[in-house]
Amino acid sequence: MFGVLVSLIICLYFKPLDLKKSVIGIISVAYSMVFETVLGSYYKLYYYLNPQDSMIYIVIAAIFIYPVLNIIYTMFLPKSKKAVLGYTLVWIIAMLIFEYLSVIFGTIVFTGWNPVPWSLVTYIFTYLWVYLTYRYLSKKRLPLKLY
């Protein structure tokens, strides 16, 4: 988590945070909370670190990891649709590697979740809605910077 936040701080040095990216971050918190709570806590398809404290880690991840990653994704999003496809593919592969390493180190324990195909489908859906939402917001007249 620390590395993700440091990455955001470094990225903010080069690309300022604007309202579009902030909206993506806020929506990502809600999306992550619902997704993680339903699949991880309610259906118990996976848990973080240990089953008893998993909900705490779900909240931490939903607030500090996934929204930050989605904001960073939008910060460097290419303008060309063809380039977006390759860029998004790299992000999906990176997320699958991140998930794989999380399993190896015991951060995530799968108890019913199958990464293939479900993680792949989840990341495709996630980056699709992030991209489409960001593109929609880009067409609106929004303030350029928040600071």
CA angle (21, 147, 1) in 5-degree steps? 50
- Residue 108 forms beta bridges with which residues? 48
* 143 neighbors 18 (Cβ within 8 angstroms): yes
In angstroms, the CA 33 to CA 78 distance is: 28
- What is the pLDDT at residue 122? 97
pLDDT digits 0-9 by tens, 72-119 = 999 999 999 899 999 999 999 999 999 999 999 999 999 999 999 999
pLDDT of residue 123: 97
Whole-number Å distance between alpha carbons of 147 and 132: 25
| Model confidence at 143: pLDDT above 70 | no
Burial of 58 (0-12, 13-18, 19+ CB in 10 A): buried
135 close to 81: Cβ distance less than 8 angstroms: no
Distance of CA 65 to the CA centre of its chain: 7
Name the residue among 15, 1, 18, 142 with its Cα closest to residue 69: 1
Q: 93 with 59: CB under 8 angstroms?
A: no
Kindly report the number of other CB atoms within 10 A of residue 69's CB atom.
21
> Torsion angle, CA of 39/45/49/50, rounded to 10 degrees?
110
| pLDDT tens, residue by residue, 11-51 | 777 788 888 999 999 999 999 999 999 999 999 999 999 99
